Homo-oligomer: A and B are copies of this chain.
Amino acid sequence: MSMEEGKQYAYRYPRPALTVDCIVFGLDDEDILKVLLIQRQLPPYKDQWALPGGFVQMDESLEEAARRELQEETGLQDVFLEQLYTFGEPGRDPRDRIVSVAYYALINLTEYNLQAATDARDAAWFPINQLPPLAFDHPQIFERAIARLQGKVRYEPIGFELLPTKFTLTQIQKLYETILGHELDKRNFRKKLLKMDLLIPLDETQQGVAHRAARLYQFDAQKYQQHKKQGFNFEL
């Protein structure tokens, strides 16, 4: 069918509803990787947990819709947000034909005020390996998000989006171990990471630990952009 015929078809026939769903990853104070879920208050799947999401409005782009949802749920703006995949099996919502464009977001929970999200009686953060049963096809969406995250942290420095601006090398190593699901060699990891020349060592150490305090670092996003233009490839 050509687009022209299709256009007329579109007038005559019903259209699927279009939503966005967000998989919001956050790293908490204890360096645990968590996902934001909403407890449903109405059927179907009443009282079950689900990904935050909502309908796309006629005058906003898909990404704008996702950012709006995110803003409404967490109060956060300017976070890392990327389209993940579009889910459209006819039976995925029992009420109606609903196609959902999934986005995933990376935020760091330590530095911002997320009371709005965490205080809300119907929203909560769950460790990624202790999720409750999820509504709809949200388990599949979550699986795909994890897979994307695992793939992408290896060749793009998106892990830093989850960390506070100042972090220790151990923090980022633990984060990578959590995301990738296996342990990494400390010396090799540090060597590789530091050699990339993307971290600014600070004259500051972590505070309040009962052992030698680790040096803090900052990710140099500007330098990364420069290097990238010159063909440099981040890889861990």
Contacts and interface: CB of A to CB of B under 8 A. Distances in A.
B88 A54 contact: no
Given A56-B99, A101-B88, A3 B18 contact: no
Interface string A1-33: 111111101100111111100000000000000
Interface residues on A, range: 35 or more
Contacts of A85: 83
A215 interface: no
Contact of A54 (B6, B16, B17, B54): B6
A209 interface: no
A72 B2 CA distance: 10
A166 interface: no
Interface in A81-106: 83, 85-86, 88-90, 95-99, 101
Contact of A56 (B38, B88, B101): B88
A89 B61 contact: yes
Contacts of A56: 16, 88, 99
Nearest to A46: B4
Interface of A: 1-7, 9-10, 13-19, 38, 40-42, 50, 52-62, 69, 72, 83, 85-86, 88-90, 95-99, 101, 122
